[in-house]
Amino acid sequence: MTNATNEQGRLAGKTAIITGGTTGIGFETARQFIAQGARVLITGRSQDKIDSALAALGEDAVGVVANSAHISDLDNVAVAAEQAFGKVDILFANAGNGVFAPIPDVDEAGYDHQFDLNVKGVFFTVQKILPLLRRGASIILTASSVHTKGAPGGSLYFASKAAVRSFARTMAVELAGAGIRVNALSPGIVPTKFFSNSNVGEGAYGQFEEMAGKAAPLGRAGTPEEMAQAVVYLASDESSYVTATDLSVDGGWAQV
């Protein structure tokens, strides 16, 4: 679907950047943004993934190979976005992954890997794209419902997502004068390739998914489609009076 066929969409005429946009929540969000009339730039860590995603998304999407943990890659994203769009209305800083290990097994490399992508990467994504953002722009940061929880082996990942949630608060205050809103999205359990890219074994993740699903009032995992619908809301003018918040989309898991 092209923008010409959806001039009345909720994001009609808007431009968006989605980091980590080749799979899972990021890809589904790109698909829904385009369906709502936006043009989208996605990032991914390999050209093959970018090419595959662009083939599915169509002509209203462009892609850049980038690792959000590398600041030089984020400079390239900013250059590509300016060339493609000039100005940007929506930034979805979504790229991230998970490192899980008991405290005695965590080494410096694992610590740095987790915080470089999930924390440093999110901060500098915002910093590098900020000069391109129009007044009235919306920034959405992918946190996680785990930032309110504790579980064995989760120290690094859980803390990194707590930092992202904190970013949404402080950035919202700092950027309010520029008319820019900043919110966090906190998904619950959503089966995607995120977990195959982490160091969680399939069996261990299956046990965690079952436990979390049973604990949530809705009694199930979420879907990328449900997460993307929430991002569309935060990106749209429908949420014009929403900033600094944490939108928990987790079936109630973190709330009870």
Looking at the annotation, which residues are catalytic?
Answer: 157
Q: Please identify which residue in the block is written with the tokens 């940007």.
A: 88
Residues 137 and 89 sit within 8 Å (Cβ to Cβ):
yes
* Separation between Cα atoms, residue 22 and residue 65, nearest integer Å: 10
225: left (phi over 0), alpha (psi -120 to 50) or beta: alpha
Q: Please identify which residue in the block is written with the tokens 């990106």.
A: 235
Q: Which residues have C-beta within 8 Å of that of residue 203, sequence separation ≥ 6?
A: none
Q: Which residues have C-beta within 8 Å of that of residue 124, sequence separation ≥ 6?
A: 68, 71, 74
Residues 126 and 94 sit within 8 Å (Cβ to Cβ):
no
